[in-house]
Chains A and B, each alone.
Chain A
Amino acid sequence: MTHVGYLIAGWGITLATLGTYALRVVRRGRNLSTRVPDAHRRWLEDQGPEGA
């Protein structure tokens, strides 16, 4: 395979950036969720009482 370094860099940076950003968004959401009552989180409606 040719250009391995470029391929690893291009794909690696993309997957790492998207993964890191996704984790950051989820963590921000978790921190904020503890400060807001369930009533403000309408997306919980489709879950069971245990938040499955």
Chain B
Amino acid sequence: MATEPTSPDTTPPGAGRDTTGSRGSRLLGVVTLVGLAVLVVLAFVVTDPDVRIHPTSGEEFGQFDAVRMLYVHVPLAVMTYLAYGLCAVASAGVLIRRTPWWDVTAHAAAEVGTVFCGLVLVTGSIWGRPVWNTWWEWGDVRLMSTLILFLMFAGYLALRRTTGDPRASSRRAAVVALIAVLDIPLVNRSVEWWENRTLHQQSTLGDLKIEDLTLFTLMLGFLVLGMVLAWLLLHRFRVGWLERAALEHSVAAAIIERRAETPTSEVHRAVGEAGDAGTAAGDRS
């Protein structure tokens, strides 16, 4: 026996609960803010500038205080890889499982990842000006591959905004994400594969060419920016979930409203048709 759809729960949400926050996310937010404050103090006050003495001439050289960009630029880049990697995993989930959870996760990770990737490009450009004496180098393979990564995920987000069948749109976007994520190994390994075509130095972390307080501050940067990423992903996921729920809720409400109206309108139409028939019959007689 078919059951009639019930009226959607129109209970107004309780006061103070209209938020994407939870106890856990608030705790994470507070710890993240404290971590950011500690990171800024370490990066600007506690760590030393990069000043080296030339062995023969005795002149000072190095990045000086511009090296303090290291503590924000490199963690942002690694968090971009993580966000886009999560987007790719969730996009595979969209294609295999086809459930809203994977779709909302993929969309959230792509949006947050694109914010991070944009900041990687901006902070890299600002860091490059005093160190390389240029804002941008079109021939640098890492810069270009990062820009391509950013543009591909910007395209992903544009595709998500297209109108039409939302399920087809999310499947198309998932395919784009799986192709775009192939650029990440290219970005990461470009300085080794095309070492003559980049201004970037090779990895200093793998061989532990930096140490002590600089390394500690950089690791703290990874941790804190990782917490920022987690907090943003959590809240952006909940926003995406609410968007779906709001749409379903409004559609359900509209259907019920329409069904409630149907008998009355049918009566009116029937009355109108009966009246017209009577008039026509009267005319004929």
A21 and B232 alpha carbons, distance in the complex (Å): 9
Instruction: Tell me if A2 and B238 are in contact (CB < 8 A).
Output: no
CA distance in complex: A43, B238 (Å): 9
21 interchain pairs (CB within 8 A)? A1-B65, A2-B65, A7-B65, A7-B69, A9-B126, A14-B72, A15-B36, A17-B119, A25-B20, A25-B239, A30-B20, A34-B13, A36-B245, A37-B9, A38-B11, A41-B17, A43-B25, A44-B17, A47-B22, A49-B14, A50-B14
Known contacts A11-B72, A43-B20; A6/B235 CB under 8 A: no
Q: Are B122 and A6 in contact (CB under 8 A)?
A: no
With beta carbons under 8 angstroms apart, the residue of A13, A43, A47, A51 that contacts B123 is A13
Residue B243 lies at the interface, judged by CB distance under 8 Å to chain A: yes
B228 touches A (CB below 8 Å): yes
Interface residues of B (CB under 8 A from A): 8-11, 13-25, 36, 40, 43-44, 49, 64-66, 68-69, 72-73, 76, 115, 118-119, 122-123, 126-127, 129-130, 228, 231-232, 235-236, 238-239, 241-243, 245-246, 249-250
In Å, the complex CA distance between A38 and B242 comes to 10
Contacts of A26 in B (CB 8 A): 19-21, 235
A12 to B81, CA, bound (A): 22
Chain B residues lying within 8 Å of A30, measured Cβ to Cβ, are 18-20
Whether A25 lies near B64 (C-beta < 8 A) is no
Residue of A nearest to B129 (CB): A6
Chain A nearest Cβ from B39, distance in angstroms? 10
Do B18 and A47 touch across chains, with their CB atoms under 8 A apart? no
Query: A34 with B14: in contact, given A6-B127, A11-B40, A25-B239 (CB under 8 Å)?
Result: no
Are the CB atoms of B19 and A29 closer together than 8 Å? yes
A51–B11 Cα distance when bound, in Å, is 16
Interface of B is mostly: helix
Contacts A26-B235, A34-B13, A36-B249 hold; do A2 and B242 have CB atoms under 8 A apart?
no
- B22–A43 contact, CB under 8 A? yes
Q: Would A29 and B235 be within 8 Å (CB), given that A17-B115, A37-B13, A46-B22 are in contact?
A: yes
**Which residues of A are at the interface with B, using a C-beta cutoff of 8 A?**
1-4, 6-7, 9-11, 13-15, 17-18, 21-22, 25-26, 28-30, 32-41, 43-44, 46-47, 49-52
User: With A3-B130, A10-B69, A38-B17 given, can you name 15 additional A-B contacts, CB distance below 8 Å?
Assistant: A1-B49, A6-B66, A7-B69, A18-B228, A18-B232, A21-B232, A29-B20, A29-B239, A32-B239, A32-B245, A33-B13, A35-B250, A43-B21, A51-B16, A52-B23
Cβ A2 vs Cβ B66 within 8 A:
yes
Complex formed: what's the CA distance from A37 to B17 in Å?
11
Closest 5 CB pairs of A and B: A29-B20, A51-B17, A32-B242, A40-B245, A33-B18
User: Which of B15, B23, B231, B242 is the one whose CB lies under 8 Å from A41?
Assistant: B242
Docked-complex contact B232 and A40, CB < 8 angstroms: no
Q: How far is the CA of A28 from the CA of B239 in the complex (A)?
A: 7
Contact: A25 with B65, CB < 8 Å? no
